[in-house]
Amino acid sequence: MRRMADMLRLLAVMLVLLAPLRLAAQETSPSAVLVADELFITPDRVLVASGNVEAFQGDTRLRATSIRYDQATGAMTIEGPIILTEGTRTVIIADAASLDADLRNGILRGARLVLDERLQLAATQIDRVDGRYSQLYQTAITSCRVCDDGRPPLWQIRARRVIHDDLERQLYLENAQFRVGNVPIFYLPRMRLPGPTVERATGILAPSVRTTSQLGIGVKIPYFITLGEHRDLTLTPYVSAKTKTLEFRYRQAFINGNIQFDAAVTRDEIERGKTRGYFFGSGAFDLPSDFNLRFEIETTSDDAYLIDYDYSDADRLKSELTVDRARRDEYIRASLINFRTLRDNEDNDTIPTLVLDGEYERRVFPVSIGGEFRFGLEAHSHYRTSSLATDGPDADDIVDGRDVARLNARAEWLNTTTYRGGLQTDWRFGAAFDIFNISQDASVSQTQYDAVPFAAFTLRYPMARAGKGGSAQVLEPIAQFSWTGGGRLPIPNEESTRVEFDQGDILSMSRFPAPDRREHGSVGALGVNWSRFDPTGWDAHLTVAQVFRDRYDDAFTESSGLRGTSSDLLVAGQITGLNGLALTGRSLLNEDFNMSKTELRGEWDFRRGRLGGSYVWLGNDPDEDRDRNVSEFTLDGNFKVNQFWTASADWHYDTESGRASTAELGLSYKNECVTVDLTVKRRNTSSSSVEPSTDIGFNIGLRGFSAGSGTERYARSCSN
């Protein structure tokens, strides 16, 4: 019997395919295919299909209990339950329907439209027009899970009529009422919403509430405007009892790059009668011949504006234009930089505000002598607005109007040889040529130059040992002797006031960050690197090193660890684990093995969140404008409480002052239809222009509209 039924089913399919019936209303449309358990034609030429009925028309698929097709009128009468699927993103579920043969026009009763498995629209009736428009009556829209126990969804939009444009992927609502639970919140006679597959569409974005101790309770309502496929503009009015602010963001993508501008204009009670604001911009472009162009713009109306409105916590603004190119054997860079300080103890007239930088480096590999030849050229200039050639009545001892320009060239030959036993030697010979032009400084000569020869010899002896379980250890002792001739020019220290001694500086010819200072004389360096690699994921690295020289160098600051004839002992290490644990630390130990500088950072990524922390300790050092010790802990992380709730925190604690400099707590709730974010931030730092403040932010977003809702699933159970 079963085999006979299968044969009858196959015969029914063949009859449909071969019958002179075309279930298509247009000549250009593909023919419809109908499959059913039972199929027959009545005397009045009505095709009847019943039992597991499926109809196919292009990318449209229909499943129903029964279908009656009238060849004379081209109409289909369908009994449900009905599931009509269009492509992979649109599904209509209905009790009954009357459709044409193309399944593009008709009426569905007791219907529900589901878009991208996220947004559902339940209606008493859906009218389909040309396969593009679906007109829904007495509609309830939600992306929340709807239970059969009669409870209303968390939120819904009720509308008298809704039109869904499948081509434009837009929803047009008439007499729309937004409800939370079953409580009406607001009413709009007309509303347009993007479908869940729309990535960009003009309209209102999720509003947010911001409360600060300085500005009171305020509301931000962003409005997004598309300006074609590659540009958009977001306007965000921010209104409270103490401020009237308009924010804007403009973005544009090009074939070879992109730009973005962020800005705001404000009239508030903090600076009465003044217009305040800021403007930030950035961009990057690919230029011909492998060059890259990048720019960054940062400006503000006053020193406190960025912090008052939480746009940025920067205390120095940097605007920069850079063109560069990096190739295997060549590097070129040119930059124009403008600085503006927001610090109370700095004056924009007496600090370098305009900086020009240029750099060129080339390497070649001569076959005749082997090794590698490098040539480098560097140009730099910085300008102060002040024209005073002496130190004025400010807090520092720097000439107020000093301007500096320099040109530095370097040529060197490097060669590395590895011997059979594993011993490795590195030779380095070269010379540097410097020209400095110092203007508006009565204490030094204007033009000075020198030539500095240098040489270095380095020994390495890496040793490896296999351990249990597939682990391996590598031990590498390092020793270097270097010499730099000449003496230091009597020029001011403008660029090398801050020196960091770390793993990257152990074998440097000069540990100063710029050529206005060099290490001269004989210098030795001893160090050892140790690493352990484990196939289970536990890896460890340790570096211990120290530098020795034949002369005391007071150009290094005390806290740099490099001032004396023997440097502080550098100890740096890292541990990483398979379970997401990572620890990194660096410390300098003086001759009494007391820490002169320490920084630690730890990260732990686990299944339900992330936890990170750091500690920094710096001793007081007047040469680095630090009149007291710096000791600060930071903690940051997030924890997924359950499927829906996530908590986060960011805490900075100054142990010297005995209080937190900043503290921030966040709580987020996210399910299949709504996102709620609450943040509380306290800033205790202050200056003559900035007061301590508390900032509370609250944001609610409805999921299901636009592709930005994400692909995560947070479906709740109806038993919750």
Using one digit for the tens of pLDDT, what is the confidence trace for 166-211?
A: 888 889 999 999 999 889 998 999 988 888 888 888 888 888 999 8
d(CA 500, CA 492): 20
pTM, two decimals, is 0.84
Q: Is residue 503 helix, strand or coil? A: helix
Rg (CA), the chain: 36
| CB-CB contact of 342 with 312 (8 Å) | no
pLDDT, position 578? 78
**Phi, psi of 180, rounded to the nearest 5 degrees:** -110, 120
- H or E segment to which residue 392 belongs: none
Which of 478, 483, 490, 412 minimizes the C-alpha distance to 446?
490
Chain centre to alpha carbon of residue 631: 29
E-strand spans in 58-202? 60-70, 75-86, 90-100, 106-115, 119-129, 133-142, 155-165, 170-180, 183-194
Who's near 256: CB < 8 A, 6+ residues apart? 285, 286, 287
The answer to whether the beta carbons of residues 557 and 535 sit under 8 Å apart is no
Digit-coded pLDDT (tens) for 435-484:
999 999 988 999 999 999 999 999 999 999 998 888 999 999 999 999 99
3-class DSSP state of 290: helix
Residues 538 and 581: their CA atoms lie apart, in Å, by 9
193, 698 contact by CB (below 8 A): no
> Is the alpha carbon torsion for 200, 202, 206, 211 positive or negative?
positive
Q: CA-to-CA distance for 482 and 414, rounded, in angstroms?
A: 13
DSSP state of 566: B
Residue 26 φ/ψ, nearest 5 degrees: -125, 150
- Check if CATH label 2.60.450.10 holds for domain 2-197: yes
* Nearest partner of 710 among 202, 222, 200, 197, judged by Cα: 197
Please, are residues 684 and 690 in contact by the beta-carbon 8 Å criterion? Answer: no
Structure tokens at 531: 């690493």
Kindly state the tokens that stand for 319: 């605007």
Nearest 5 degrees, angle CA 268-CA 273-CA 279? 60
pLDDT at 9: 47
Rounded Cα gap, residues 385 and 709, in angstroms: 50
Token pair 């040992």: residue = 465
Stretches where the chain sits below pLDDT 70 are 1-32, 688-689, 706-720
CA quadruple 114, 115, 117, 118: dihedral sign: negative
Provide φ and ψ at 66, rounded to 5°.
-155, 155
Picking from 410, 397, 408, the residue whose alpha carbon sits closest to that of residue 437 is 408
Q: Name the residue among 635, 578, 570 with its Cα closest to residue 597.
A: 570
Euclidean distance between CA atoms 83 and 79, whole angstroms? 11
Strand partners for 296: 282, 320
Residue 264: which of 316, 309, 205 has the closest Cα?
309
Rounded distance between C-alpha atoms, residue 386 and residue 54, angstroms: 84
Between CA 494 and CA 132 the distance in angstroms is 69
User: If DSSP codes are grouped into helix, strand and coil, which group holds residue 161?
Assistant: strand
- Going 443 to 445 to 447 to 449, the CA torsion angle's sign is negative
Cβ 518 vs Cβ 510: under 8 Å: yes
